[in-house]
């Protein structure tokens, strides 16, 4: 796993605050959590049960009926609602999870740089960026908001929960408005280090396989050559390792979800430790790894962009974790 949080250096006080927030992990204390249920336009006029089955296809109608019977679907006034309630687009409800304890994560968040506009983080794994699924407080966003309170922080982009490395976080909405469009327009130069199963023959190669616009029931994107979104990733061999794996440098020229992992999986070189994109182009049934699992060997290593305050081009790197080598 990643090294412990540094206790010396220019950000020692920030790292001490991170240790306080993460000891114990904020999601380890039982509490009532909820997920928002926002009725989409294509569910207008349906029953709430029908809408839930449409929105969350991997949960059966029978399982939803049990949640209704337990009183766990409520309106914004916390009043239980029934499965036959006819809903309208834009209405909001809540799915209650009483006494929830979240899965453990790696809380060793490292601050690499901060200034008036920007915080540069070396994210450990497994650690989700934002609340979702089984995670509410055991997330990078929650930890940083606690450390930097009362500031309201704005992550400029995302990494998967299982991916380590560089995350850029802005310190105001105005700075986010200057940085986030650079990602959307492909103006941010990104390089990743990734260890794959097998030995690609070429020293350099690329993939232009289009990636599905929507995820499947378990959240995975795949190659969709008929209707997928355009995508390109360039790869360079960095080191051929003795165990038959290979360390690559990956340069994504587009920003599709799971792009590097999907492209390598499609090429026949799946990422070591990936619970989703398996050898033989098979798909696994898991998403976020457990702390004790073998880590995903994908690291956001280098990033170059225009600083939202100085308007100068800047570059940062994040030390790679030992499991890449």
CATH number of domain containing 117: 3.30.2350.10
Q: Among 44, 115, 160, 266, which one carries the catalytic annotation?
A: 160
Residue with tokens 């509490």: 31
Which of 51, 66, 100 is at the close of a domain? Answer: 100
- What value, to the nearest 5°, has the Cα angle with vertex 236 and ends 233 and 239? 140
Q: Is residue 93 within 8 Å of residue 75, measured between CB atoms?
A: yes
Evaluate if pTM is beyond 0.85.
yes
Which of 63, 79, 100 is at the close of a domain? Answer: 100
Cβ-count burial 112-136 (b if 16+ within 10 Å, e if not): bebeebbbbbbbbbbbbbebeebbb
Domain count, the chain: 2
Give the structural domain span for 83: 31-100
Assess whether 17 and 123 both reside in one domain: yes
- 77 occurs within a structural domain: yes
Assess whether 117 and 85 both reside in one domain: no
pLDDT per residue, tens digit, the chain (325 aa), is: 345 788 888 999 999 999 999 999 999 999 998 999 999 999 999 999 999 999 988 799 999 999 999 999 999 999 999 999 999 999 999 999 999 999 999 999 999 999 999 999 999 999 999 998 889 999 999 999 999 999 999 999 999 999 999 999 999 999 999 999 999 999 999 999 999 999 999 999 999 999 999 887 667 899 999 999 999 999 999 999 999 999 999 999 999 999 999 999 999 999 999 999 999 999 998 888 999 999 999 999 999 999 999 999 999 999 999 999 9
Residue 160 a catalytic site member: yes
């Amino acid at each position: 796993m990643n090294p412990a949080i540094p206790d010396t250096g220019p950000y020692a006080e920030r790292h001490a605050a991170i240790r306080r927030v993460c000891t114990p992990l904020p999601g380890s204390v039982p509490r009532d959590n909820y997920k928002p249920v926002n009725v989409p336009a294509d569910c207008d006029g349906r029953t709430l049960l029908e809408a839930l089955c449409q929105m969350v296809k991997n949960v059966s109608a029978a399982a939803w009926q049990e949640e209704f019977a337990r009183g766990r679907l409520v309106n914004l006034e916390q009043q239980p609602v029934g499965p036959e309630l006819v809903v309208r687009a834009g209405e909001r409800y809540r799915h209650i999870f009483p006494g929830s304890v979240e899965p453990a994560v790696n809380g060793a968040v490292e601050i690499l740089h901060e200034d008036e506009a920007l915080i540069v983080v070396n994210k450990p794994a497994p650690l989700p960026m934002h609340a979702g699924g089984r995670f509410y407080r055991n997330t990078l966003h929650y930890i940083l908001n606690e450390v930097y309170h009362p500031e309201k922080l704005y992550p400029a982009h995302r990494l998967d929960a299982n991916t380590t490395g560089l995350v850029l976080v802005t310190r105001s909405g105005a700075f986010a408005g200057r940085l986030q469009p650079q990602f959307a327009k492909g103006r941010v130069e990104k390089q990743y280090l990734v260890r794959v199963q097998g030995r690609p023959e070429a020293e350099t190669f690329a993939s232009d396989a289009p990636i599905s616009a929507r995820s499947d029931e378990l959240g995975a994107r795949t190659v969709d050559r008929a209707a997928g979104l355009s995508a390109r990733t360039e790869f360079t061999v960095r080191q051929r390792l003795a165990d038959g794996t290979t360390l690559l440098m990956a340069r994504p020229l587009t920003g599709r979800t799971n792009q590097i992992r999907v492209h390598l999986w499609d090429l026949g070189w799946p990422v070591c430790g990936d619970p989703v994109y398996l050898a033989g182009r098979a798909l696994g049934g898991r998403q976020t790894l457990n702390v004790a699992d073998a880590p995903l060997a994908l690291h956001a290593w280098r990033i170059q962009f225009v600083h939202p305050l100085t308007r100068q081009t800047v570059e940062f790197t994040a030390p790679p974790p030992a499991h890449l080598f």
